[in-house]
Amino acid sequence: MAPAKKRNVSSVKTAEKSAKKAKVDLSKTVERILESRKHANDVFDILESLQAEQEKEVISAVAACRELFCALLERKELFLGKLPGEEDALSGGYSAEDKYRIFMRHRYTSCVEILLEHLSHEQYDIKALVDNLLSKATDNSLLISRFQEFLEMEDVRYYVMSSIRDNVGKVMEKNKGAVVPVYQNNVFTLMSSISMPNQESELTNFMVKQEAKHEDWKAAKLHEHKRVFERMWLGFLKYKLPNSMYKKVLVILHDSILPYMSKPTLMIDFLTAAYEIGGAISLLALNGLFVLIHQHNLDYPDFYKKLYNLLEPSVFHVKYRARFFHLANVFLSSSHLPVYLVAAFAKRLARLALTAPPTALLLVLPFIYNLIRRHPSCRVLIHKPSAEDEPFEDPYLMDEEDPAQCRALESSLWEIKSLQKHYHPDVAKAALLINTPLSEQEDDISETLEVTTYELMEKDLKQPEIKSVPLEFETATRLLKGGGDVLGQHFCLT
């Protein structure tokens, strides 16, 4: 057995040497072609290697083709426009320069045809490409963005999705499900670059001609695309993700993932786990849950209870504040919600408003008014009969997690009355509206969703009636001494 083993090793070494020699020869061939046009026919040697039986020789030929035709393109030595036949070029009135360009353009066309044949070969495996894109050590975002144009082809997209699923399974199992940030970022970047078709009639752009395949070719079936798309995402999301990745996924979930899944309700476990993390991630997870409830008949009785418990002081300061209130407005838009629930949200927001910044208050107050407009039964919170001069103990239970038990309907929106003396005039003006009958038309909160403190200050400073800003109640008579000699009362100069 030993001699046979020796012969096998020897044959492998011989093959490697042959591959290296072929690579060197092809490089020299490219150099000769680019140095002098008298070697133009040597391009046939490269194309012949491109059709070789040995894989390494084919790879060397692919590299040589890339080097040659990219150089010819840069030198403008490839014929552009409608390509005439080679016989027409020889017999027509073309210059020697154009004949060379036409000749090379035909060789380029032959190269493309051969490469497409390799792509559709039964042994072709796109996994090698995906494995390199999904590096565990290098951020390949730019490379993936360049590859995105190929994902517009139906067959490429289908096989890439299958390869991603297999790659994630192998890598994450090898790492025992541990967080691998660079790798997971590459996977997400590639998966989020995939745009799924809406109808089977849209499956028209194939790299390999569809008629050359069997009629049951999976890459040409929309339901197969959805199936592999679903398995790809579920295979990625079942492993532990860093919080930053949770946010990235949840932001695109309702638009770019759920509509293209065969069974969107399979995402319930992921969304429930995401909600348990807390903070902005919980907020974003509720959006996906809401989609499943309203569009896919998911039974999730604790949805509004979870939304209610997200209303904390931090909600006014998180990055996704605008998105949260936009979604909350959508969630609470139904006129069929029980009055106790709407009252609980209105009261909790009013209580939080006592310590909220002006930018948030200009959003929260119209939000509360809209809730009352949609549910007239909640007007009792405004017109609660009470003696203003008597001590009042608010029955509302702020620490109660169940909106049904917080006793909001027994309380009133006295917090808004307090805001009528707010230091910011726009907030005080908005709070005064509660003293008058609310109009039937709802306030448009979209304009105030993303207002910043800087924008609020710029708006105030640009008002025409403001000519000067008072900095002191009493006019100063000399340096470091104003009216009432405040400096002398508190400091002694020695």
Phi and psi at 93, nearest 5°, equal -90, 50
pLDDT of residue 341: 93
CA separation for the pair 215, 202 (Å, rounded): 17
CA separation for the pair 423, 338 (Å, rounded): 35
Reference 431, options 418, 444, 448; nearest CA is 418
pLDDT of residue 387: 43
pLDDT of residue 197: 85
CA separation for the pair 327, 294 (Å, rounded): 13
pLDDT of residue 10: 46
214 membership: H or E segment, kind and range: none
CA separation for the pair 373, 382 (Å, rounded): 12
pLDDT of residue 9: 41
User: Quick one: 273 exposed, middle or buried, by C-beta within 10 A (0-12, 13-18, 19+)?
Assistant: middle
Predicted TM-score of the model (pTM)? 0.60
State the DSSP code for 470: -
Residue at token pair 């001069």: 389
CB 108 within 8 A of CB 69: yes
Centre a 10 Å sphere on the Cβ of residue 409 and count the other Cβ atoms it contains: 19
The tens place of each residue's pLDDT in the chain, 494 residues long, gives 334 434 344 443 444 555 555 556 888 899 999 999 888 899 999 998 888 878 788 888 888 998 999 899 888 888 887 888 877 777 777 888 888 888 899 999 898 888 877 755 544 458 778 888 898 888 999 989 888 888 888 888 888 998 999 899 888 888 887 778 899 999 999 999 998 888 877 777 777 665 544 456 777 788 888 889 999 999 999 888 888 899 999 989 988 899 888 888 888 889 888 888 877 788 888 888 888 888 887 777 788 888 898 888 888 887 777 878 888 888 888 878 899 999 999 999 999 999 988 888 888 898 999 899 888 888 888 866 554 555 578 899 999 999 999 999 999 899 998 898 888 888 888 888 888 888 777 777 776 666 666 666 666 666 666 556 556 666 666 666 655 566 667 776 65
248 membership: H or E segment, kind and range: helix 243-252
Widest pairwise Cα distance in the chain: 110
